Amino acid sequence: MRLVSWNVNGLRACLKKGFAESIMALDADIIGLQETKMQPGQASVDFPDYEEHYNSAERKGYSGTALITRIKPRSIVFNFEGHTDEGRAIIADYGSFYFITVYVPNAKDGLLRIDYRMEWEDDFRALVQKLDKEKPVIICGDMNVAHEEIDLKNPKSNRGNAGFSDEERGKMTELLGAGFTDTFRHLYPDVTGAYSWWSYRFNARKNNAGWRIDYFIVSNRLADKIKEAKIHSEIMGSDHCPVSIDIDIEAC
């Protein structure tokens, strides 16, 4: 099974930049999108053999997640308790596993939103730990943190900034320590220069001055079922690129 995640930074804009062609070429079974920035009915990808589910923020043009899947889930839940207004999570039950597409809140410049970010992290970790007791969990999305220095081009100058603060990195450590595996680092622990987001400024993408902040994270018991994990930096259309995993698992 192939799973894809992509922060599209506005689905309506991305649709004009080759989104459909890129997604079809990836040939995924399940696709999680983040930062769709749209309300219901404002856009539709209308892929043959796929169904679409959109979770929009109450605030227009902000946040949002989507699930595009050729496998029908048993059930779908939008958001989780205490965090229902920004459209940041879709939880789909595929019988043998849960699939979650998630857009973690940005701590903002000067860490202005760090307190909410810490609350969100704790509540999300509690949620996935609870789900993991029932069946394995596959989390994908923009986690808005580069976990280790290897995960961004300029760690020294970014230390303490949003996305590379000690607080945010610590919460990722806690999540992984709660029984979950970073699939890319599981397969490629020492690979450098592997990034999924680049600023639009300073020719960052051309110079590969990026950050790896988009992840597939799975329950530890699924780690040995990961056959491949890729960062598709060649695919344009957003300031993020898609990431994917090939995993030996079936929905039931």
Asked if residues 127 and 106 have their Cβ atoms less than 8 Å apart, the reply is no
The pLDDT, as a whole number, for residue 40 is 85
The pLDDT, as a whole number, for residue 46 is 82
| Per-residue model confidence as pLDDT tens for the chain (252 residues) | 999 999 999 999 999 999 999 999 999 999 999 999 999 889 878 888 999 999 999 999 999 999 999 999 999 999 999 999 999 999 999 999 999 999 999 999 999 999 999 999 999 999 999 999 999 999 999 999 999 999 999 999 999 999 999 999 999 999 999 999 999 999 999 999 999 999 999 999 999 999 999 999 999 999 999 999 999 999 999 999 999 999 999 999
The pLDDT, as a whole number, for residue 41 is 86
- In angstroms, the CA 77 to CA 89 distance is 8
Q: What is the DSSP string of the chain?
A: -EEEEEE-SSHHHHHTTTHHHHHHHHT-SEEEEE-----TTS-----TT-EEEEE--SSTTS--EEEEESS--SEEEESBTTB-SS--EEEEE-SS-EEEEEEPPP--GGGTTHHHHHHHHHHHHHHHHHHHTTS-EEEEEE-----SGGGBS-HHHHTTSTTS-HHHHHHHHHHHHTTEEEHHHHH-TT--S--SEE-SSTTTTTTT-EE--EEEEEEGGGGGGEEEEEE-TT--SSSB--EEEEES----
- In angstroms, the CA 200 to CA 118 distance is 27
Mind telling me the catalytic residues? Answer: 103, 142
Report the predicted TM-score, pTM, of the whole model to 2 decimal places.
0.98
The pLDDT, as a whole number, for residue 44 is 76
